[in-house]
């Protein structure tokens, strides 16, 4: 089983990506940055390389807009990675040829034949940009509703209770090591045309002990942020998976792979599907009178939030349809046999150069 993550997500701030902070330069021999057009076979190229290197441990980066598509793949033992470097997850070399190098697939596109369909391709891409702008406005409204719910249930006594419980968890679980740990930023959640998808199998793969924070009002970051800081200070590497609705500030899940330990958050109606070591009900820290006094308002806000999320999923479904139309246009003018042959050649090159 592969460790799977997202590096990018559609958020109220627009598309947010951690692709340029994905890999540790000290553990990397080569990053191949794939350049191409929609439907050029970038994801298929990476999957074919991975199939040729199937005996190797790997980390797979999924596309949040299409989880059947790959944005990247990393082979940690070899220190080699391949990544889709085209917008919206554009990547450029920081150490050209010393570490990164371009891998262009446009050489397999018949641009002369494609030019006959350029007007249609331009129209589809312009329409898609407009739909993304609409999506981000809807997600901004969702974030406002979430924040209002959280503000209604905020209570100083509840905050202090969470702090005490968090200090206890840190004393039990975070063991002092040497040096400073490394923070790896990822997403484990993504909004898709079919709703929010969480890559729970990755948690089960990387952690034997899982703390589940049952959380209806996005309070989990108050527990996860100090745990993350304590783990890094103790010398542990931490994979912090952020909340797509607050992608730069609020972790939603933490994984400490060396300790086989994870802390995840989930609403009570959609719990972590694996076997949790301990389930902590964050909602239980909220004073019942406070919940009761705002019950009708909270119910209205949640209902409105869910309606907006349905709208967002519908917009994403429309965007996915337009992307398929665009890919169909380009597909017709791509030499996929050439793409496959090049993938085979690079898989062999990787083993020859770095399988020592």
Cβ(217)–Cβ(149) below 8 Å: yes
Q: What pLDDT is recorded for position 123? A: 97
Cβ neighbors of 126 (< 8 A, separation 6 or more) are: none
Helix 156-173 to helix 221-233 angle, to the nearest 10 degrees? Answer: 30
Q: What pLDDT is recorded for position 224? A: 97
Q: CA–CA separation, 146 vs 149, rounded Å?
A: 5
Nearest to 6 by CA among 24, 15, 17: 17
Q: CA–CA separation, 330 vs 125, rounded Å?
A: 13
Q: What angle do CA 141, 4, 197 make, to 5 degrees?
A: 35
DSSP letter at 68 equals E
Q: What pLDDT is recorded for position 177? A: 77
Nearest to 64 by CA among 268, 304, 312, 339: 312
**Residue spans per domain, the chain:** 3-109+335-354, 156-285
DSSP β-bridge partners for residue 298: none
- DSSP helix, strand, coil percent of the chain (3-state; round to 5): 50, 25, 30
Question: What are the C-alpha distances in Å from 69 to residues 39, 45, 214, 342?
Answer: 11, 11, 30, 19
């702008």: which residue's tokens? 133
Nearest to 277 by CA among 256, 263, 258, 259: 263
Q: What pLDDT is recorded for position 1? A: 73
SS3 at position 250 = coil
Q: What pLDDT is recorded for position 65? A: 85
- What's the CA dihedral at 278, 284, 286, 291 to 10 degrees? 140
Residue 63: phi and psi, rounded to 5, are -80, 125
Q: What pLDDT is recorded for position 25? A: 87
Residue ranges, the chain, pLDDT below 70: 356
CB-based burial label for 291 (10 Å; 0-12, 13-18, 19+): middle
Task: Enter the pTM of the model.
Answer: 0.94
Q: What pLDDT is recorded for position 93? A: 92
């Amino acid at each position: 089983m592969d460790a799977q993550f997202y590096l990018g997500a559609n958020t109220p701030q627009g598309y947010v990506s951690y692709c340029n902070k994905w890999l540790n330069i000290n553990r990397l021999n080569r990053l191949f940055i794939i350049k191409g057009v929609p439907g050029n076979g970038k994801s298929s190229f990476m999957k074919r390389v991975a199939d040729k290197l199937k005996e190797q441990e790997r980390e797979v980066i999924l596309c949040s807009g299409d989880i059947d598509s790959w944005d990247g793949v990393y082979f940690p033992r070899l220190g080699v990675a391949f990544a889709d470097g085209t917008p919206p997850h554009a990547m450029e070399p920081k150490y050209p040829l010393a570490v990164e190098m371009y891998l262009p697939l446009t050489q397999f596109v018949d641009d002369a034949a494609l030019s006959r369909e350029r007007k249609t391709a331009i129209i589809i891409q312009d329409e898609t940009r407009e739909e993304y702008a609409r999506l981000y406005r809807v997600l901004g409204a969702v974030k406002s509703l979430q924040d209002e719910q959280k503000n209604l249930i905020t209570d100083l006594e509840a905050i202090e209770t969470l702090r005490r419980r968090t200090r206890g968890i840190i004393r039990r679980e975070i063991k002092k090591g040497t040096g400073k740990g490394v923070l790896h930023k990822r997403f484990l959640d993504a909004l898709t045309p079919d709703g929010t998808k969480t890559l729970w199998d990755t948690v089960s793969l990387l952690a034997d002990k899982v703390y589940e924070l049952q959380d209806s009002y996005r309070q989990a970051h108050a527990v996860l942020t100090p745990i993350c800081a304590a783990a890094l200070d103790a010398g542990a590497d931490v994979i912090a998976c952020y909340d797509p609705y607050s992608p730069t500030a609020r972790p939603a899940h933490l994984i400490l792979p060396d300790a086989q330990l994870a802390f995840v958050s989930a609403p009570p109606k959609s719990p972590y599907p694996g076997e949790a070591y301990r389930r902590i009900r964050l909602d239980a820290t909220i004073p019942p009178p406070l919940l009761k006094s705002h019950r009708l308002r909270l119910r209205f806000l949640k209902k409105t939030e869910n309606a907006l999320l349905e709208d967002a999923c519908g917009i994403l479904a429309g965007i996915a349809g337009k992307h398929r139309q665009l890919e169909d246009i380009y597909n017709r003018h791509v030499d996929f046999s050439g793409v496959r042959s090049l993938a085979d050649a690079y898989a062999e090159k990787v083993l020859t150069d770095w399988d020592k």
